């Protein structure tokens, strides 16, 4: 069976790739196991040097790589360049800070009857990463950079519609000087993931994707007693209170909902607006969403490109066509490609699927609330808990929001995003574990206690 790279702007197949045969997969797993045995003995200085070399190489190829991202999954060229730059920054961050994250941590040996007691961080082996298409480089990089810095070996099973990005990741690390087979891309179908995860040569897994995919991987990992980090769906609340600057809040609301063509787990999706400012917010928000330019993602003037897949657009249309009031957008344009316009909805009720699920496209749901407490009740009633946003200048409201919102991340007067410097992850059905920062590196380290007697 072939894996195809299809341009969502035209719907045309750009390139086809063959899946690994059973023998080829076995060979790659054997090579990964061998590489793990030697790579764990490399110095942190060498690993940091290879990460810096990868950052320099990626930066030198940024324009070509950004163009590849656009033609493979449809985000705007501007957004693709930003994604590449974030990957470069992530590589350099772990090259700079990784050695300190991996230093031994001294404990109080005397209190435990030891001459010395300390914690050391050691690699665990080969880590399988099951990654999505929406941020095809950054999603994979935020696993790869800390994992490789920690001395682990990476196995990337990327989404089937971004094979060129997946293969580029393997080439990047190889050409940067990492030892052979330390990072490999596995062109395999989703049905083969269980086989790879059950293989004793694979130590752990990380998955970013849908809730059903996360449930499947977590089930297998649980049976095999293997560590797994899950970053699943999100339907982030974006709460707007009267004390905020509405012009700025609506500017950011538009970005929060349409970033990556609306295809990000941390997009603001549910907008809870206080009744005192609801009319003004909605008027500004609808006008700004309606003014966005939908078009060729390679055109610098374009704000929103096509959705990544035809099935994804069908899913969005199915959500929108279920009774809500459409204030702007809501109809696919008559043109080639998988485009869908920025859309604002009101009148959403609990009987509608979108009330409980994640709409993966540029569709905003607006709810009018009478208080912050009501907004938090509504926000927390959703099964997901990834990111969250509050717009307020009131310190008491900010404190209440941080204390009570059920999410892994809480952003005030800004929209949820990821940075190498701070932890990323969710609660409830948005998954568990953390990526990025020192926590992301230690997720796939053996935190070993060492006790030394007199």
What are the residue numbers of the active site? 231, 265
CA-to-CA distance for 350 and 69, rounded, in angstroms? Answer: 37
CA-to-CA distance for 129 and 204, rounded, in angstroms? Answer: 9
Structure tokens at 32: 């990964």
| Listed residue (398, 362, 385, 135) closest to 269, CA to CA | 362
Q: In what order do the strands lie in the sheet with 325-328?
A: 325-328, 343-346, 363-369, 268-274, 236-240, 389-391, 411-412
CA-to-CA distance for 363 and 345, rounded, in angstroms? Answer: 7
Alpha helices by DSSP H, listed for 156-308, are 163-175, 193-198, 211-224, 246-258, 278-290
- In b/e form, how buried is each residue of 320-333, taking b as 16+ CB within 10 angstroms? beeebeebbbbebe
Around 326, how many Cα atoms within 13 Å sit in the side-chain half-sphere? 16
Structure tokens at 33: 């196991």
3-state secondary structure of 178: coil
Contact (CB, 8 A) for 378 and 367: yes
What are the CA-CA distances from residue 144 to residues 15, 190, 228, 245, 312 (Å)? 25, 20, 15, 39, 27
Kindly calculate the radius of gyration of the chain based on its CA atoms and give it in whole angstroms: 23
């Amino acid at each position: 069976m072939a894996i195809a790279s299809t341009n969502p702007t035209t719907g045309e197949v750009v390139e086809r790739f063959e899946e690994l045969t059973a023998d080829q997969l076995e060979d790659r797993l054997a090579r990964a196991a061998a590489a793990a045995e030697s790579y764990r003995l490399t110095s942190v200085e060498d690993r940091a040097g290879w990460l810096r070399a990868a950052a320099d190489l990626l930066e030198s190829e940024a324009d070509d790589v950004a163009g590849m991202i656009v033609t493979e999954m449809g985000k705007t060229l501007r957004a693709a360049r930003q994604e590449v730059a974030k990957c470069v920054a992530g590589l350099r961050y772990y090259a700079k800070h990784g050695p300190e994250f991996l230093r031994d941590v001294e404990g109080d040996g005397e209190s435990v009857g030891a001459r010395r007691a300390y914690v050391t961080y050691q690699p665990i082996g080969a880590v399988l990463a099951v990654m999505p298409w929406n941020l095809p480089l950054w999603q994979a990089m935020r696993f790869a950079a800390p994992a490789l810095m920690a001395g682990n070996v990476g196995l990337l099973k990327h989404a089937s519609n971004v094979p060129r990005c997946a293969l580029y990741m393997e080439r990047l690390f190889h050409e940067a000087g990492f030892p052979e087979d330390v990072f490999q891309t596995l062109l395999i179908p989703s049905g083969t993931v269980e086989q790879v995860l059950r293989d004793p040569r694979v130590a752990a897994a990380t998955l970013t994707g849908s809730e059903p995919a996360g449930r499947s991987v977590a089930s297998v990992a649980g049976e095999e007693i293997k560590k797994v980090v899950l970053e699943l769906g999100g339907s982030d609340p974006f709460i707007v209170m009267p004390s905020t600057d509405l012009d700025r809040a609506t500017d950011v609301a538009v970005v929060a909902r349409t970033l990556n063509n609306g295809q990000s787990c941390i997009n603001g999706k549910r907008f809870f607006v206080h009744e005192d400012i609801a009319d003004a917010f909605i008027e500004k928000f609808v006008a700004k969403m309606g003014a966005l330019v939908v078009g060729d993602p390679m055109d610098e003037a374009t704000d929103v490109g096509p959705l990544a897949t035809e099935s994804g657009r069908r899913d969005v249309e199915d959500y929108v066509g279920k009774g809500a009031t459409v204030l702007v957008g809501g109809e696919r344009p008559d043109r080639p490609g998988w485009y869908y316009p920025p859309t604002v909805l009101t009148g959403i009720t609990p009987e509608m699927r979108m009330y409980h699920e994640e709409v993966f496209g540029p569709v905003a749901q607006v709810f009018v609330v009478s208080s912050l407490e009501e907004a938090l009740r509504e926000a927390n009633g959703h099964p997901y808990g990834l990111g969250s946003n509050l717009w307020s200048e009131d310190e008491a409201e900010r404190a209440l929001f941080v204390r009570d919102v059920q999410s892994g991340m809480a952003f005030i007067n800004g929209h949820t995003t990821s940075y190498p410097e701070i932890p990323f992850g969710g609660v409830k059905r948005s998954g568990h574990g953390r990526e990025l920062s020192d926590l992301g590196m230690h997720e796939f380290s053996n935190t070993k206690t060492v006790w030394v007697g007199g």
